[in-house]
Structure 1
Amino acid sequence: MTDSRRAAPPALRPALVFGAITAAVWLLTTTAYALVAGLGLPVPMGAVGLVFPGTIPGWLASSAGPWPVLGVVVSTLAAGALAFALAPLVLSAAGPQRRGLLVLALWFVVLLAAALAGGLMVLGGIAAYWPPLRLLDLVTPVAPAVATATYWGLLWGWIPAVLAAKAWGNAAAAPEGGRARWLRPLPAVLFGVLLVAAFPLAQAANRAEAPEPPVAEPLPEPVVYGSPEVSMAVEDGAPESPNPSGEPWCTGGDTAVVLGGGDAATGHRAQELRITNTGDADCLLARYPDIAFDDEGGSAMSVLVFRGGTFMTDDPGLEPLTLPPGGSARALLGWNAMAAAGDVRAGAVLVAPYAGTGREKLSLVLDIVNGGAVAVTAWHADGA
């Protein structure tokens, strides 16, 4: 076989030069952008992008190795192969004798090749993040990626156009064989497929290197601080006080408290409390009831409890009352209706015969909220 047969066809050699120069310029400018970004120089990357357009998506450029390098290499090969495949399009419009028109035509080819390379990177990004969360995610990255690549072709495409126009010579006049015409797009197809595939492969590498998400530990059960079982205040003269009276007071251990009937009028409320002596001996009710409230979640409430009557309750005043075994007495709670919409309401009332002895917790839901005020009457005999 002679050397002329082994050599590339006359029309193929300048196209190869054109594709190679396009790839070289793409490689140099993309590498320059990556170096400036990687070195962390105090330069706005937006200004750098005006000179060296960031044709490679940022997340690919910062992916796990070796994909930042491979992404640049594959995109370089794809851009050069696309320019090589599209070069014959200009031969019918511009001959080598019309140098100026040929340069413009080749420059347009670079623009087109760069735009196609940007579109391939968009496809790769879609494949990497498939399926999309929204259909809009399929088209959102198209404009910036293609626009950046096209801007690169506008800014730098004149270099391969000028250099390739010099190498074209009279090659445009030589027809290209049928087989060569069909084989010319193969490198562009091959490198285009590799460019699209690089994105999901890089994303898979990123996921493989990502640290395992921390295992969420179960939150501890919330601590509920309800009202104390015994008031911190102690009535003067009670058995628990520093100066007990010596009388047999009715304590929380030898009485039982239950809820009596309730009553309501427009804007006013009342609730009866009944206490019974469950001991074996007489005991003395010598003070007002000790009252506290817990909300529906069991937490202590801030409710002002004062002694006296209301619109619906009458306080007979403090009068010592002796309860025989099995004997009962009663007291009344009274309050004005409170706006409870959106607030935590009372879910229990805690009652003791007096402050300083054990309280009994009685569950009921009342329209009493934090910051409210409730009146309590003295213990008095049934019917009083």
Structure 2
Amino acid sequence: MRTFLTRRLLLSAAIVAALWMATAGARDALLQIPSGIAQLSSLLPELVPTSLTAYQAGGFGIAATVVGGVVLGVVFSVIVALVRHQGARFVSSWFALVVAAALIGLGFDLGAGWSWIVAYGPRGLLSSGFGVAAAAGALWGLAVGWIPALIARVSVAEPAPARPPLWPVPVAAAAVAAVVIAGAVTDAGRNAAIEAEVAAQQEIDAASSFGALPDPDAAGVPVPETADATVPDDPQWCTEDRATVLKGEPDAATGHRGMPLELFNFSEQPCVIEGYPDVAFGDQNGHLLDVTIEHGGSFMAQDPGPQRIEIPAGGSAVTVLGWDAASPHDALVTNTVWAAPTPGMVRGSWPLELDIVEGSTVSVTAWTVDVDPTSPN
């Protein structure tokens, strides 16, 4: 009895795998070109999520692409075998590839989003670009499916089995599971490589000094605990017994730096604040660093302008410090950040090394109510 896995079907499966890997590989190669040519990658479907390509995942990405192509060929053959009992005509073979490519894309979507699922549950998929590869696979299959369909089709005269075989179902399930596992492994490998790179850079940074070495004999004045200003006489003011300034995490863009500060109202009643915070910086010698403070926006944040705002109980206001990156080599640098809600109030401080050097200009935005519950505390 003739088996349906004929040379013709095997050939069509091999062509499917080759076409898929060629498309995914071409997009991956374009992404790695350090020029505007890389934008041409947007013309090709994202069969493999960008985070799982060699562009971001190195050798893991290459392996994932090969696994995806091989599994696609298997799943395509399986689906064609399932519809064999009705005759594998041209159209059914074509749409078999559409379904198969969508399943492979779905597998990669799940693999790429696995770390998001572990961290945040199913809702984490909303932040992982879930569904892009599945949709791209279906469109790709619709565009090129006629090629293997021409090869895999069966003539009307050929006999078809009375019912579909049972073996393709577990084979297809195992194949798609392999893609999910390959995607998850690739994503884990990429994250591990990033963490290793960060750790290596941290070791290099730790081995080198940040700024000039501390000089106990250096001239300078300590950072004053308060600025020479008068605190508004307002019974609703966010005073020290109602609110406190908390440091956010520094952020960076190309050539630019930023750091949020949060004014947290820990009291049981709302309080008010207006204008700009009082900010100062201490160098590695414990002295006031010569820095120009400007009220306004920066590359990292826009300035809403001074306005009287009410911070609800348990709520926060936020401001953002912005400055341009500078070389700390052999320079007086920021070793301590000082801040108060407004000039005249007592400054709090945090030991923090920043590339705000002597002579830098730091932009400070006005306080505004923080509506983002994920802002750093």
Q: TM-score, normalised by structure 2?
A: 0.48
Q: Which has the larger radius of gyration?
A: 1
Q: TM-score, normalised by structure 1?
A: 0.47
